[in-house]
């Protein structure tokens, strides 16, 4: 029997999590660069799980969030009702961590927002992008754009088009696609 190429260990909605200090059900944590919601109270060094996928209702700050917007977790945030100790926000800020996309609009007076946990889109890829030297998303993108000039990209697209033509010709010759 051949060795399998992959073995499913977890479904991916919940992941194993062992906190360094005690956490409570509903706490928002960052594990392996993604947001998670603790499922049950856990003592320090106790194996449990965090939810990393699905729709989660988060307490939010007084920022306005539109449906589809990226949402971030601010560990120091203040809920719209005035309670401190962490809140979801529509604001990118120092220490804020991407948690997902808003499924509904939540105005400044709204205390909660439903978020598709860890769902990512093109805007999110740029929002959290920083270089290893402490630069900002803007400076990192400028560096990337400087590396890929219009001429370089045009050459890359031309090469891809040529490869695509060769693949199509080979598939036609093999009778896999129509001539």
Same-domain pairing of 142 and 69? yes
Same-domain pairing of 31 and 62? no
pLDDT-derived band of residue 133, with 50, 70 and 90 as boundaries? low
Cα 54 to Cα 50, 91, 102: the distances in Å are 11, 22, 12
Q: Minimum mean pLDDT among 68-72, 91-95, 122-126, 144-148: which range?
A: 122-126
Same-domain pairing of 15 and 94? no
Whole-structure pTM value:
0.63
Question: Per-residue pLDDT for 123 more than 50?
Answer: no
3-state secondary structure of 49: strand
Distance, CA of 178 to CA of 73 (rounded, Å): 52
Same-domain pairing of 120 and 104? yes
Is position 169 within any domain? no
Q: What's the domain count of the chain?
A: 2
Distance, CA of 14 to CA of 37 (rounded, Å): 9
Same-domain pairing of 5 and 35? yes
- Give me the mean pLDDT over the 48-52 stretch: 93
Is position 165 within any domain? no
In this prediction, residue 154 carries a pLDDT of: 66
Same-domain pairing of 36 and 95? no
Q: Minimum mean pLDDT among 46-50, 83-87, 152-156: which range?
A: 152-156
- Give me the mean pLDDT over the 112-116 stretch: 93
In this prediction, residue 124 carries a pLDDT of: 44
Domain that holds residue 21: 1-53
């Amino acid at each position: 029997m051949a060795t399998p190429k992959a073995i499913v260990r977890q479904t991916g909605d919940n992941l194993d999590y062992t906190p360094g200090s005690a956490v409570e059900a509903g706490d928002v944590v960052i594990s392996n660069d993604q947001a998670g919601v603790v499922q049950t109270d856990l003592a320090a060094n106790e194996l449990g799980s965090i939810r990393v996928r699905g729709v989660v209702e988060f307490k939010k700050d007084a920022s306005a969030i539109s449906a589809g917007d990226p949402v971030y977790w601010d560990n120091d945030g203040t809920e719209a009702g005035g309670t401190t100790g962490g809140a979801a926000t529509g604001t990118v800020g120092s220490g804020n961590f991407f948690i997902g996309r808003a499924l509904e609009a939540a105005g400044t007076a709204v205390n909660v927002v439903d978020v598709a946990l860890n769902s990512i889109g093109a805007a999110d890829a740029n929002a959290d992008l920083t270089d290893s030297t402490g630069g900002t998303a803007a400076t990192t993108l400028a560096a990337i754009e400087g590396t890929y000039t219009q001429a370089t990209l045009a050459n890359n697209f031309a090469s891809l088009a040529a490869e695509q033509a060769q693949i199509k010709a080979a598939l036609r010759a093999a009778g896999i696609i129509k001539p």
